[in-house]
């Protein structure tokens, strides 16, 4: 579970930093075009970026303090943003555009289910 947590945390720290800070112009503009195509705007993109950042920060914190509940909260944030991304990609784009979100949904689900088993033991 350590590797899954690291992968999700770093991927979403990177992705959220672009949505929030717009520091990488090419990726930022590409993502903003998707949001606009979906009937959303820059504010929506910022809010999604903040959820992604908080979720990834919780994943990092869970590794530092070794807390399964914190890890589950971070994974839940990624789980729900992944569901949203899949929904919009499948509605407006192609399955190919949804692949990254499908992978992050599977990985975050794995953490949630794994921790659910541990928490109930």
- Over residues 64-90, the pLDDT tens digits come to 999 999 999 999 999 999 999 999 999
Rounded mean pLDDT for each run of 10 residues along the chain, 121 residues in total = 95 97 96 96 98 98 94 96 97 95 97 77 49
CB 24 within 8 Å of CB 18: yes
Q: What does the pLDDT read at residue 116?
A: 78
Q: What pTM does this model have?
A: 0.90
Q: Where are the domains of the chain?
A: 2-120
3-class SS at 97?
helix
Q: What does the pLDDT read at residue 44?
A: 97
| Crossing angle between the packed helical segments 25-37 and 2-21, to the nearest 10 degrees | 80
Q: What does the pLDDT read at residue 118?
A: 57
Q: Beta-carbon neighbour count of residue 93 at 10 Å? A: 13
CB 107 within 8 Å of CB 4: yes
């Amino acid at each position: 579970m350590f590797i899954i947590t690291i992968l999700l945390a770093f991927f979403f720290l990177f992705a959220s930093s672009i949505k929030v800070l717009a520091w990488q112009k090419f990726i930022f503009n590409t993502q903003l075009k998707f949001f606009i195509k979906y009937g959303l705007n820059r504010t929506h993109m910022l809010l999604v970026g903040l959820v992604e950042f908080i979720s990834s920060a919780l994943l990092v914190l869970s590794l530092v303090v070794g807390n399964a509940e914190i890890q589950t909260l971070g994974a839940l944030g990624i789980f729900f943003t992944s569901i949203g991304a899949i929904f919009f990609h499948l509605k407006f784009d192609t399955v190919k555009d949804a692949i990254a979100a499908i992978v992050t949904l599977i990985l975050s689900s794995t953490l949630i289910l794994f921790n659910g088993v541990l928490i109930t033991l």
